[in-house]
Structure 1
């Protein structure tokens, strides 16, 4: 048995783990990075990047079908070669993964271990069968895995998760998407635009991350143009029939429907990868989800020398959040390991932002509509149906609500669906993080003609309501 004495052990070589490793090392700690499977982040392998590659192909197909209103006519039907689509997705995905793998493998060999780690106690880890790590502190950054309810597990390889989509060699004929969250909406629309017959079965009226009823209803209408969308469905049975899946579900009106699909794509959320860690061997307090109870500011699990960052803590499963959390967890783990003086460093989160890479895009910045105190804010509104630049490009679909606090006149949040949402979201996130008022924001320059003029209209709407008391 090989024994390694170290200051900080980082479990997981994803975005949070790599950030934690670098931060702890920068503080002067001896560090080891432990990875159970393979190098390459969730984002690069099965998340952000391959999904955007599929979406890019879908947007090209969608644009090609919509040239006639401009007076540009393409003779014949748009032909989509599913094998070529997936070949590019996988080739470019592998290129992104290669960069991440090379970067990780560029770390000193004696600072990396391959093998699943499990706790022997709070300070001792067993890695694989032949290595024991004695660590003064540990960072858990093991990421997350798609959750598949038991009903669909019985379907074998006909029930897939987003990871599996990017292993396809060709596009299927017909797919049911279970779940109308961010991943479901992005992949569902992309597949539909690439010629796949898609039925999306959501639950409890969910449409992505949206909580504002008016914006949610508008988004439902928009997505229903691309595929059959049931946001209030209840799946009653799922059975395997050869290489097909038969679903029986009740739609929002209570009507029972029976359909057969090539695949069921389950996008029912993700769960932290903690089951292999043997956390019961530690003195950590574990919550109902199986996640160690930790301080939201320092990411420390109680008073123990254990920190948890990234998707593993199940707070904000986004790459930039994981990197920020990993950095703070690594610094604080080094602080504990080196018996440094002073308090642990708190995590200062950036302005919250959520983006769905659909067309039109969905975005949310700051406080959600449902979390704001009634009568504490005004709602500025704009429709993109007649917004100048949006109409010029024939991308004039969408609606935006911005929320402005009545007392301080500060921008506090927004929810919307509309063109270039991913870019406007950054402007509003900066506005929120800088604590700007609606007046400060309207004093900023707005060029003409740009989609951002729609944001100005919404802000003017909010300012007018404040002026009217």
Structure 2
């Protein structure tokens, strides 16, 4: 066995791990970055970027189909070249991954180690079969992996996860999707608009992570007009028949339907990638899922000088949060036992569906009934949205009843990704409805819809008082 000594050992070279490494080195500590798989973050390789490439192609196809409604005739038949679509997805995906890999390869070779790591003791790791790493502190930044229900494994190689989609050379004929969350909804709508027969199954009524029941009902109504979507599906049987997956389910009239699909996509959530770390060899206190208990502000695990950041802790599995958490974990590992709390940014999440879904600040389910009022706008008659033929969606703002402070919002609607940033900044600056209404609103823009919701909230505040 070869032994390596380091101040901070970081397991995982994704977004959180790279951020932790840079922070530890910036604080004058020797840091060792350990990676057991190929370099390249989840975002670049199988997440944010390749999914948006697929969505971009689907948006182009959808816009072409909708052109006639704007009085623009496109001669000929719309033809989607599935091979060309997937070729661009893979090429651009590889380009983004290449940038990440280049960044990692610029790290000194003495600070990088390739191999699967597991714990021998609190701060002693074995990497591969012949290396022992003795560290002063450890950062776990191993990311997450898809959580695939055992019942779906009956489909064998017809069962895929989102990672597999971006390796296709051609678009398939049909895909069944289990899980209408963020990943399922984005990929399902994109594939459908690219000519793939798609059917989506949910089981709890949830959709796109929305917690507000009014917004969720409105979103379900909108998406079911375009997609074969059942958020409360009754599955009767799952079978593998030859090279196809066969699914029997009950439709809305409780009739038994059987359909076959080329693939089944499990978009049923993700879980921390910690199973192979052998955490039982440490004194860390683990929860029922085997994840170390940790302080959500300092990211320090209970029981040892170990920190956990990014998707591995499953708090906010979003890239910018992973980078922030990695930085805090790296800094605290460098300065341990002195640690500082993570300064969280305004909560912000976006689903790149059409219409887009966004949530800012506190979710509806986090609010105390009777302590807030709402402000609403329906985008159906919103001027700029109607001009663009993108007038679908509903927004609900939440405002503190006693102070008038903006608490959060959930909605779906046009260009929600941009409105979401405006509202996130307002939330982070603790603005009130009156202060937000004092800001400029140009005409005609989608943001005027936000002003309508704010005015509605202000009226409801006045009525409540």
TM-based fold match above 0.5: yes
Give 1:236 deviation, angstroms: 3.2
Give 1:378 deviation, angstroms: 1.0
- The whole-number CA distance in structure 2 between the counterparts of 1:408 and 1:253 is 48
Does residue 426 in structure 1 map to residue 421 in structure 2? yes
Does residue 131 in structure 1 map to residue 131 in structure 2? yes
Q: Which residue of 1 aligns with 2:108?
A: 108
Q: Which residue of 1 aligns with 2:364?
A: 369
- The whole-number CA distance in structure 1 between the counterparts of 2:106 and 2:178 is 40
1:449 corresponds to which of 437, 444, 447: 444
Deviations 1:325-375 (A, max 9, x none): 100100111112xx6xxx411011111111000111000111111221111
2:377 corresponds to which of 376, 382, 386: 382
Residues 11-410 of structure 1: matches in 2 within 5 Å? Answer: 11-251=11-251, 254-336=254-336, 343-410=338-405
- The whole-number CA distance in structure 1 between the counterparts of 2:235 and 2:147 is 16
- The whole-number CA distance in structure 2 between the counterparts of 1:426 and 1:137 is 36
Does structure 2 conserve the Cα–Cα contact (< 8 Å) formed by 1:363 and 1:421? yes
Does structure 2 conserve the Cα–Cα contact (< 8 Å) formed by 1:231 and 1:252? no
Give 1:50 deviation, angstroms: 0.1
Q: Which residue of 2 aligns with 1:461?
A: 456
Task: Say which is worse superposed, 394-403 or 250-259, in terms of deviation.
Answer: 250-259
- The whole-number CA distance in structure 2 between the counterparts of 1:237 and 1:111 is 51
- The whole-number CA distance in structure 1 between the counterparts of 2:46 and 2:252 is 32
Does structure 2 conserve the Cα–Cα contact (< 8 Å) formed by 1:193 and 1:226? no
Does structure 1 conserve the Cα–Cα contact (< 8 Å) formed by 2:283 and 2:303? no
Give 1:252 deviation, angstroms: 5.7
* Structure 1: stretches of 5+ with no match in the other structure: none
Does structure 1 conserve the Cα–Cα contact (< 8 Å) formed by 2:328 and 2:342? yes
Give 1:253 deviation, angstroms: 5.5
**RMSD across aligned positions (CA):** 1.1
Please give the secondary structure, in 2, of the residue aligned with 1:379.
strand
- With normalisation by structure 1, the TM-score equals 0.97
Does structure 2 conserve the Cα–Cα contact (< 8 Å) formed by 1:173 and 1:197? yes
- The whole-number CA distance in structure 2 between the counterparts of 1:402 and 1:193 is 31
Give 1:251 deviation, angstroms: 4.5
- The whole-number CA distance in structure 2 between the counterparts of 1:270 and 1:254 is 31
- The whole-number CA distance in structure 2 between the counterparts of 1:97 and 1:464 is 49
Deviations 1:177-229 (A, max 9, x none): 10010001100000010001111101211111111122111111221122101
| CA spacing shift, 1:11–1:196, aligned 2, 3 Å | same
Give 1:254 deviation, angstroms: 4.2
- The whole-number CA distance in structure 1 between the counterparts of 2:154 and 2:111 is 41
Task: Say which is worse superposed, 207-216 or 105-114, in terms of deviation.
Answer: 207-216
* Structure 2: stretches of 5+ with no match in the other structure: none
Q: Which residue of 2 aligns with 1:436?
A: 431
Please give the secondary structure, in 2, of the residue aligned with 1:148.
coil
- The whole-number CA distance in structure 2 between the counterparts of 1:237 and 1:374 is 41
- The whole-number CA distance in structure 2 between the counterparts of 1:380 and 1:461 is 5
Structure 1 segments (4+ residues) deviating >2 Å: 234-237, 249-257
Does structure 2 conserve the Cα–Cα contact (< 8 Å) formed by 1:353 and 1:366? yes
Aligned length: 464
Q: Which residue of 1 aligns with 2:412?
A: 417
- With normalisation by structure 2, the TM-score equals 0.98
- The whole-number CA distance in structure 2 between the counterparts of 1:351 and 1:415 is 14
Deviations 1:303-333 (A, max 9, x none): 4110000000111100001001100100111
